[in-house]
């Protein structure tokens, strides 16, 4: 792909994907500070690599994949600055939103990632399987478990 101006392209990518990357990073790392680190790292990698994307879906999936990897690296790193514990420091407009968001946050990492990709990013199971490089059945099982766990925490669970 030819870009008139790489800086302009990068700016546009930041505008376009900022929220997506930050939100996913927050789900994964549970801390604003760590999410900011992940967020910057993802864009640095994009700037360094400037991958050629086949289409928009490819582009989005690449960024999600990198966000997941960066947050994995960070969470495993001894440099992890902030313990990943998020308690009520994001305020939501409604109690329902507050409850569901924190209920998801309380799930184990592998569950909440799938919940986020499935319900928020609207990916299908086979797509999640590709992004996470995990077998489809495993994703299916995890999604079912995650739902069960949510049902225990909040009335009605997530549908």
Partner 1 sequence: MKKKEYVDAVNEIKVDRDLKERTINKITQNKKHKNIYSILASSIIVFVIGISIAIPMINNKNKVTPIEIVEQNNGLPKLENFENLYNIMKNQNSELYETNKDIAFTDSVTSSATSESTLEKSEADYSTTNTQVEGVDEADIVKTDGRYIYYISSKKVVIVNAENSSDLKILSEISYSKEEKLNPRELYIYNNKLIVIGQKENNYYDDLMMVDSIYPIQNDSRTTAKVYNIEDKTNPKLDREVEIEGSYLSSRMIGDNIYFIANKYIYTYLFKDDIAELDEEMFKPKYIDTAIGNEEKCLQYNDICYFPESEDTSYLNIAGFNVNNNEKANIDTYLGAGSDIYSSQNNLYITRVKYEYEDERVYGYYNNYDVNTYIYKFKLENSKAIYEKAGSVPGRVLNQFSMDEKNGYFRIATTDSQNWNSKTNTNNLYVLNENLETIGKIENLAKGEKIYSVRFIGNRAYMVTFVETDPLFVIDLSNPNNPIVLGELKIPGYSKYLHPYDENHIIGFGENTKTNQYGGVVTDGMKMALFDVTNPNSPKELYSVDIGEKGTYSEILNNHKALLFSKEKNIIAFPISISEEEENYRTKLKFQGAIVYGLDLDNGFKLKGKIAHMQITDGYRDYDYTKAVERIIYINDSLFTLSEGLIKSTDMNTMQESGSLEIKLEDNE
Does residue 95 belong to the site contacting partner 1 (CB under 8 A)? Answer: yes
Residue 15 binds to partner 1 (criterion: CB under 8 A):
yes
Helix (H) or strand (E) holding 16: helix 6-29
What is 89-125 written as a DSSP string? Answer: -S--SSHHHHHHHHHHHTS-HHHHHHHIIIIIS---H
Q: Centre a 10 Å sphere on the Cβ of residue 85 and count the other Cβ atoms it contains.
A: 9
The token duo for 118 is 């499935």
Interface with partner 1 includes 76 (CB under 8 A)? no
Task: Give the integer Cα–Cα distance in Å for 155 and 152.
Answer: 7
| Residue 82 within binding range of partner 1, rule CB under 8 A | no
The one among 116, 142, 143, 146 contacting partner 1 by CB under 8 A: 116
Residues 125-154 close enough to bind partner 1 by CB under 8 A: 150, 154
- Of the residues 31, 38, 43, 74, which one makes contact with partner 1 according to CB under 8 A: 43
Q: Which residues bind partner 1 (CB under 8 A)?
A: 1, 3-16, 18-19, 22-23, 26, 36, 39-40, 43-44, 46-48, 56, 87-101, 104, 115-116, 119-120, 122-124, 150, 154, 156-159
């Amino acid at each position: 792909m030819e870009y008139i101006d790489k800086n302009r392209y990068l700016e546009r990518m930041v505008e376009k994907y900022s929220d997506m990357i930050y939100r996913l990073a927050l789900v994964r790392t549970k801390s604003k500070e760590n999410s900011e680190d992940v967020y910057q790292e993802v864009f640095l990698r994009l700037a360094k690599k400037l991958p050629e994307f086949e289409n928009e879906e490819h582009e989005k999936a690449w960024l999600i994949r990198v966000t997941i990897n960066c947050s994995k690296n960070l969470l495993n790193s001894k440099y992890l600055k902030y313990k990943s514990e998020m308690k009520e420091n994001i305020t939501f407009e409604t109690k329902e939103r507050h409850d569901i968001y924190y209920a998801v946050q309380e799930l184990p990492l592998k569950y909440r990632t799938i919940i986020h990709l499935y319900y928020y990013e609207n990916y299908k199971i086979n797509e999640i399987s590709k992004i996470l490089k995990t077998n489809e059945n495993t994703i299916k099982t995890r999604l079912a478990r995650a739902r069960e766990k949510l049902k225990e925490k909040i009335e009605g669970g997530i549908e």
